[in-house]
């Protein structure tokens, strides 16, 4: 990471619409950590030139850049406190024009709109760290709706446990199955796994598999809300970059090896249960009301035509609920974490879901008949 190079801290003056300023600041300021030991990382870099204002914010692992049209009277660069500036602009009257000005004689950024005046402390633009984009691959265009789907269907399973840091992200990689190349996203925390895939975009061949950190995934997902129809993605073994049109996010990736998840995908789970996803979720949610916080265990007793859900809690009592299912095999029982079951049912896009079971301690495979490109795996609880 190198400091910003161009521009000066001498003078800067511009006028910008509040809405445009608020939107761009909103995009970049979430990269800024609330508590920082390095003061300049609390700031946003403002660069005014020609007819636009460019914003940059970073936490040294991730950088978000955005831009907005502005009337630039005096081009220049300065950094100012990101969260404070965002809060000020948020509270300014709608439709107002905001004037940002800085002169070398006064070490503060003047922010004015209508009758409001603010002066904010600044730090030199030359000290602001800029993330290089060395080594990034050629860009591949991905439909916004496809990328949203890959993230939304999988990110709930990203691990929050710091010891296995290589599980603290979303594994994006390409695979070839039956001669078809696919872009696949996988997340797991060791107890459950979520997998979603799509036809690989042009340019994906040969790009390395990377583990995109949880924070980067969350920020990319947020920026996708304001993106156009396509996002450009670039990947290197060390970094990933998403270009959303105006805004861009560059991030380091997690340096580690994602486990060989294909070994845990059940191949011969022959007990197949079909159930109404919404009714199943509601029933699990009801019985889980009295489950013990730690294990959240729900017992599933499955027999021909029905499943009986049971939760027993020494302190809170017992809950039982019966539900119709499509199943005609031998009866069997197993337990799952209720929260994990609900996280999966939240992702089912059709009316029904398909559960495939093996033995009592084998992982269950959950499929969405309405979306054949997703798979979920849940480990049963050993009770």
The pLDDT assigned to 18 comes to 97
State the Cα–Cα distance between residues 231 and 245, nearest whole angstrom. Answer: 7
State the Cα–Cα distance between residues 81 and 16, nearest whole angstrom. Answer: 18
Q: Are 167 and 161 in contact (CB under 8 A)?
A: yes
**By CB neighbour count within 10 A (0-12 exposed, 13-18 middle, 19+ buried), where does 269 fall?**
middle
Q: Are 51 and 72 in contact (CB under 8 A)?
A: yes
DSSP SS3 for 223: helix
| DSSP codes, 107-152 | EEEEEEETTEEEEEE-B-GGGSEE---TT----EEEEHHHHHHHHH
Read off the DSSP letter of residue 217: H
Read off the DSSP letter of residue 10: S
Smallest CA-to-CA distance from 215 within 30, 88, 351 is with 30
Q: Name the token pair of 192.
A: 């459950």
Q: Are 346 and 156 in contact (CB under 8 A)?
A: yes
Smallest CA-to-CA distance from 113 within 17, 191, 27 is with 17
The pLDDT assigned to 48 comes to 97
State the Cα–Cα distance between residues 46 and 63, nearest whole angstrom. Answer: 14
Q: Are 223 and 212 in contact (CB under 8 A)?
A: no
Q: Name the token pair of 286.
A: 């009801």
The pLDDT assigned to 371 comes to 95
From the centroid of its chain, how far is CA 314? Answer: 38
For tokens 């789907």, name the residue. Answer: 149
Residues making up the chain, counted from first to last:
383
State the Cα–Cα distance between residues 232 and 240, nearest whole angstrom. Answer: 11
Q: Name the token pair of 123.
A: 């730090």
pTM: 0.90
Taking only the tens place, the pLDDT of each residue in 139-152 is 899 999 999 999 99
**Sheet harboring 116-121: ordered strands across?**
71-74, 11-17, 97-103, 106-113, 116-121
State the Cα–Cα distance between residues 334 and 298, nearest whole angstrom. Answer: 9
The pLDDT assigned to 5 comes to 45
Mean pLDDT by 10 residues, the chain (383 residues): 53 96 94 89 96 96 96 96 96 96 91 95 94 80 95 96 93 91 96 96 87 96 91 93 93 95 92 97 94 83 96 88 95 94 95 93 95 96 80
Taking only the tens place, the pLDDT of each residue in 356-381 is 999 888 999 999 999 999 999 999 99
Q: Name the token pair of 229.
A: 């129809």
The pLDDT assigned to 273 comes to 97
Which stretch of DSSP H or E encloses residue 2?
strand 2-3
């Amino acid at each position: 990471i190198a400091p910003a190079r161009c521009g000066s801290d001498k003078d800067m003056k511009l006028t910008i619409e509040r809405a445009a300023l608020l939107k761009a600041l909103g995009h970049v300021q979430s990269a800024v950590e609330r508590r920082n030991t390095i003061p300049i990382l609390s700031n946003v870099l403002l660069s005014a030139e020609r007819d636009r204002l460019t914003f940059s914010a970073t936490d040294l692992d991730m950088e978000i850049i955005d831009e907005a049209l502005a009337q630039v009277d005096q081009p220049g660069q300065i950094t100012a406190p990101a969260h404070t500036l965002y809060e000020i602009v948020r509270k300014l009257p709608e439709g107002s024009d905001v004037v940002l000005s800085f002169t070398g004689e006064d070490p503060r950024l003047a922010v004015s709109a209508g009758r409001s005046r603010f002066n904010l402390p600044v730090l030199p633009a030359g000290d602001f760290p800029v993330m290089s984009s060395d080594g990034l691959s050629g860009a591949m265009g991905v439909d916004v709706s496809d990328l949203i789907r890959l993230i939304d269907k999988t990110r709930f399973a990203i691990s929050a446990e710091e010891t296995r840091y290589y599980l603290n992200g979303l594994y994006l990689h390409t695979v070839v199955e039956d001669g078809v190349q696919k872009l696949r996203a996988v997340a797991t925390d060791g107890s459950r796994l979520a997998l979603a895939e799509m036809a690989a975009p042009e340019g994906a061949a040969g790009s390395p598999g990377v583990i995109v950190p949880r924070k980067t995934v969350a920020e990319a997902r947020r920026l996708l809300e304001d993106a156009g129809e396509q996002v450009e993605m670039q990947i290197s073994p060390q970094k990933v970059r998403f270009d959303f049109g105006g805004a861009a996010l560059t991030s380091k990736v997690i340096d580690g090896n994602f486990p060989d998840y294909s070994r845990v995908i059940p191949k011969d789970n022959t007990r197949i249960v079909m159930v109404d996803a919404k009714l199943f979720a509601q029933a699990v949610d009801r019985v889980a009301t009295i489950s013990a916080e730690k294990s959240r265990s729900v017992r599933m007793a499955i027999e021909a035509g029905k499943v009986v859900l049971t939760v027993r809690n020494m302190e809170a009592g017992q809950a039982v609920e019966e539900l119709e299912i499509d199943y005609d095999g031998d009866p069997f029982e197993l337990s799952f974490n209720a929260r994990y079951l609900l996280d999966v049912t939240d992702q089912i896009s059709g009316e029904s879901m398909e559960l495939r079971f093996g033995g009592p301690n084998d992982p269950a495979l959950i499929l969405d008949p309405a979306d054949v490109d997703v798979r979920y795996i849940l480990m049963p609880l050993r009770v």
